[in-house]
Structure 1
Amino acid sequence: MRRLRHPLPGFGLGLGVGMAWLGLVVLLPLLALCVRAAGLGIDGWLRAFRDERVQAALQLSFGAALVAAIVASLVGLIVAWVLVRYRFPGRRLIDALVDLPFALPTAVAGIALTAIYSSNGWVGQWLEPLGIKIAYTSVGITLALIFIGLPFAVRSVQPLLETLGREQEEAAASLGASRWTALRRVVLPEVLPGVLTGFSLAFARGLGEYGSVIFIAGNLAYKTEIAPLLITIRLEEYDYNGAIALAALLLAASFLCLLAINAIPALFAHGRGKGDHHVC
């Protein structure tokens, strides 16, 4: 019997090199962090997180990332809907601009947002007399996280809308469903996995974001100091245990988000298997 050849030549070698590189660059540093974090013990963890400055930084980071992920998910759904369902001049340009935060260095984004929303910036100079301050506040931090999280929300929903098409909506309309009913019972269940995936990605990215936030945050202890910046400060103070505890917590939160992203398609596929959707 003739032996079947692999469709890709050198698959075994390529897989081995790829996994070795992945292990050295990604897994090994993460493993080292986990080992160091496990060696802190309960007393070390309690000592690190009882600090009021640490609690304030974690509360700000998690709260701002959560709000930013929610806003980015809602706005991303609207942007994806417009890009998929409508044809208008400049559509391709807007579609390309969605990915700008991916290509733009985060420090550049932070400087640009600060220049726009500071008290003497293009927008901030008009908001300041009204008592609205964005730069150097938690609002500015949230705005920066929305900026870097929006592409995740758009790109997670856009392929689902393109695959959905208009046929199911037209079928629902032919059965007497209103636009709101078709949107609620036909469209939203199909795009909800993408919305949740975009939310998880934006939240995980927001937790660890550094470059685009430190410029607009102001970095005031107990007020506008984010957890990633506090990790750097702890390292500069030679408080390695405190830095490791903070880093391990952010790593665990991001890892849980990745697990949720991988579980979302399976959960929705299982739910669809129990029964069909009823439009009217």
Structure 2
Amino acid sequence: MSARAGTWSNWKRPSVLPGFGLTLGYALLYLSIIVLLPLAALILRPAELGLAGFFDTVTTPRVLAALRVSFGTAAIAAVINGIFGLIIAWVLVRYQFPGKRLIDAFVDLPFALPTAVAGIALTTLYAPNGWIGALLTPLGLKVAFTPTGIVIALIFIGLPFVVRTVQPVLQDFDSELEEASASLGASRLQVFGLVILPSIMPALLTGIALAFARAVGEYGSVIFIAGNMPMKSEIAPLLIVSKLEQFDYAGAAAIAVVMLVISFVMLLVLNLIQRWARRHEDNDR
């Protein structure tokens, strides 16, 4: 009884900012209208296919190939962004050089640039007759209209998520920890791997998760450079649009549900790893 009373008293304890009940109600209402209701409608729409029809729709070779392309390229792009995003954030935080502010502004360019414009620009560069594609073609390397081109487009749109997530953590990192480790005889590599990296790992994983989530649903910048060849470079969002154009709303919703479930599971795994990394960092402290 006393424990229950204590919990209730903590719940009812007045806050510095009043109106908790009202704001909580607005938050739940807003979340329900914007997120939960659309997701519920999406999940319920394939019910008209029946269980057998649902599995027949999402297990066709074309759908499975599109899902492999979408999630495979998104995962590769997210990992690459994690590596090079960390390097870019490190350079922007730790070094002073001419044009630093300009480069820092360029990082946010994919946020402001329309995705269709980005797709056209990348296709112009990497097409066989493009500036970079013309140099790669004699070497037997083809980027545009292949999954490689999709990865490049997803790297372009996902890089800012990693940089802007890691950069503030590096700025707030206590340099005295580095100095103490160096005074104890640790090399630069050891300082980075044993002191700095564990501290920024939760932020880095968050950036990778955001970049992955953004890449999975990307459409505008990918359709131009992908070539959209079924069983080879066709992405799942394009297949959903194709089914919508054919008025197959249930089939489109079925593919979307599969993408939703896979994305949720992968993000859940990343969040669990992130939580483990944060707990491990707290224990070390």
Q: Structure 1 length as normaliser, TM-score?
A: 0.88
Unaligned 5+ residue runs, structure 2? 1-12
Match of 2:251 in 1: 242
Match of 2:77 in 1: 68
Partners of 2:197 and 2:264 in 1: how far apart? Answer: 27
User: Which residue, 196, 204, 210 being the options, matches 1:187?
Assistant: 196
Partners of 1:6 and 1:168 in 2: how far apart? Answer: 36
AA matched with 1:92? R
User: Which residue, 58, 62, 66 being the options, matches 1:53?
Assistant: 62
2:269 is the counterpart of 1:270: no
Q: CA deviation at 1:88?
A: 1.0
CA contact (8 A) 2:57 2:251 kept: yes
Match of 1:25 in 2: 34
Q: Secondary structure at the match of 2:93?
A: helix
CA contact (8 A) 2:198 2:281 kept: no
Match of 1:96 in 2: 105
Match of 1:78 in 2: 87
Partners of 1:41 and 1:245 in 2: how far apart? Answer: 11
CA contact (8 A) 2:205 2:274 kept: no
User: Which residue, 105, 114, 124 being the options, matches 2:123?
Assistant: 114
Partners of 1:107 and 1:86 in 2: how far apart? Answer: 34
2:252 is the counterpart of 1:252: no
Q: CA deviation at 1:232?
A: 0.8
Match of 2:186 in 1: 177
CA contact (8 A) 1:201 1:257 kept: no
Tell me how many residue pairs correspond in the alignment: 273
Choose 106-115 or 260-269, whichever is displaced more. Answer: 260-269
AA matched with 1:120? N
Residue by residue over 1:146-203, the C-alpha shift from the partner in whole angstroms, topping out at 9 and shown as x without a partner, is 0111111111211221111421111111001111111111111111112211111111
Mapping for residues 77-226 of structure 1, pairs under 5 Å: 77-226=86-235
CA contact (8 A) 1:48 1:241 kept: no
Change (3 A) 1:74 1:269: closer
Q: CA deviation at 1:9?
A: 6.9
Choose 67-76 or 19-28, whichever is displaced more. Answer: 19-28
CA contact (8 A) 1:234 1:240 kept: yes
Q: Secondary structure at the match of 1:242?
A: helix
Match of 2:6 in 1: none
Choose 252-261 or 238-247, whichever is displaced more. Answer: 252-261
Unaligned 5+ residue runs, structure 1? none
Partners of 1:166 and 1:213 in 2: how far apart? Answer: 41
Partners of 1:9 and 1:189 in 2: how far apart? Answer: 38
Q: CA deviation at 1:129?
A: 2.2
CA contact (8 A) 2:46 2:253 kept: yes
AA matched with 1:125? A
Change (3 A) 1:269 1:199: closer
Residue by residue over 1:188-246, the C-alpha shift from the partner in whole angstroms, topping out at 9 and shown as x without a partner, is 11111122111111111111110110011111111111000001111222333321121
Change (3 A) 1:212 1:175: same
Q: CA deviation at 1:77?
A: 0.5
CA contact (8 A) 2:58 2:258 kept: no
Match of 2:9 in 1: none
AA matched with 1:227? A
Residue by residue over 1:116-148, the C-alpha shift from the partner in whole angstroms, topping out at 9 and shown as x without a partner, is 111222221222222221111111000000011
AA matched with 2:44? V
AA matched with 1:207? V
CA contact (8 A) 1:60 1:138 kept: yes
Match of 1:34 in 2: 43
Q: Structure 2 length as normaliser, TM-score?
A: 0.87
2:50 is the counterpart of 1:44: no
CA contact (8 A) 1:193 1:265 kept: yes
AA matched with 1:197? T
CA RMSD of aligned residues (A): 2.2
Partners of 2:177 and 2:46 in 1: how far apart? Answer: 51
CA contact (8 A) 1:232 1:243 kept: yes
Give the share of equivalent positions with the same residue, in percent. 57
